[in-house]
Amino acid sequence: MGQPQIDKVSFGTVTVTRDHSAIHDGDSYTLFSSGAGGTDTQSNIQIDTPNSTTWLHMLPMARSSTEANFKLFEDPTLSGGTSMITINRNRNSSNTSSTIGLLNPVISGAIGVQTSGTNLIEEHFGAGRNTGGVTRGITEWILKSGTTYLFSITSESASSDISMELNWYENVDKS
C-alpha cells in the first residue's frame, strides 16, 4: 500500500469511496439496455443474485428522452429473457460475477402492470414535458442473496429513447 495522498490545494486527505475502490479491486460490474419506441415501450432487466454470502450493492440508473417511469421489484414472477453479458468495470481485471442478468423477461401481468413481487422503487420523471430526465439510485441497495429482481423503465410518451444502467459491486458479508 502507498502512503496517504494529500490534496495540494486544501491539504485534505484524498480518499476513495467504497464503490470506487471496488472498481479498482475488480469487484464492480455493469449491465445496460437501451431502446426507442412509443408509449408503453419497456426495457426490463432481471437480476438473479447468487445464493451465497456475496452481497450485491446496486446503484441503478435510468434515462429517458421524454416522460418515463422507473420501477424496481423484488421476487416478481418472470420467465424467459435473453442472457446478458456482465461487464467488469475494471477492464484490466479477470474477475467475473456469478450474478445472472436477463434482458426483457416475460412479466406476469399487462404491460406496465406488475402483478407479483414487492415494488421497492417507483420513480416518475420528465412528467408532462417533452424533455426527459435521469433517475439515479444515489441510495445504494444491498440486494438479498438468492433473490430475483426486476428493474424496469417504461416510456410514457409517443416517442422516446430509454436506457437503463445497473452498476454494482460485490463483497462478502462479514456479519
Place 112 in a pLDDT band, splitting at 50, 70 and 90: low
Cα–Cα nearest to 56, from 75, 16, 77, 28:
28
Query: What pTM does this model have?
Result: 0.84
Residue 60's pLDDT is 92
User: Taking the alpha carbons of 55, 123, 109, 30 in that order, is the dihedral positive or negative?
Assistant: negative
Q: Are 53 and 145 in contact (CB under 8 A)?
A: yes
Among 1-10, 118-127, 162-171, the range of highest mean pLDDT: 162-171
Looking at per-residue pLDDT, the higher value among 123 and 115 belongs to: 123
Evaluate if residue 102 carries a pLDDT over 80: yes
Q: What does the pLDDT average to over 9-34?
A: 86
CB atoms within 10 A of CB 142: 12
Indicate whether 36 pLDDT > 90. Answer: no
Average pLDDT across the chain, whole number = 85
Summarised one tens digit per residue, pLDDT across range 62-78 is 888 888 888 999 999 99
Q: How big is the CA angle at 116 (ends 166 and 133), to the nearest 5 degrees?
A: 35
What average pLDDT does this structure show over 120-139?
A: 65
Question: Residue 102: phi, psi to the nearest 5?
Answer: -125, 135
Give the model's pLDDT for residue 103.
95
Q: Which residue has the higher pLDDT, 90 or 125?
A: 90
| Residues 18-30 pLDDT 10s | 788 888 899 999 9
Question: How many CB atoms neighbour CB 17 within 10 A?
Answer: 8
Reduced to 3 states (helix: H, G, I; strand: E, B; else coil), residue 41 is coil
What are the phi and psi torsion angles at 18 (to 5°)? -60, -45
User: Hey, what CATH topology would domain 5-172 get?
Assistant: Jelly Rolls (2.60.120)
Sign of the C-alpha dihedral, residues 110, 36, 163, 47?
positive
pLDDT cut 70: percent of the chain above it: 88
**What is residue 167's predicted lDDT score, i.e. its pLDDT?**
94
In our burial notation (b when 16+ CB lie closer than 10 A, e otherwise), range 18-54 reads ebeebbeebbbbbbbbeeeeeeebbbbbbbbbbeeeb
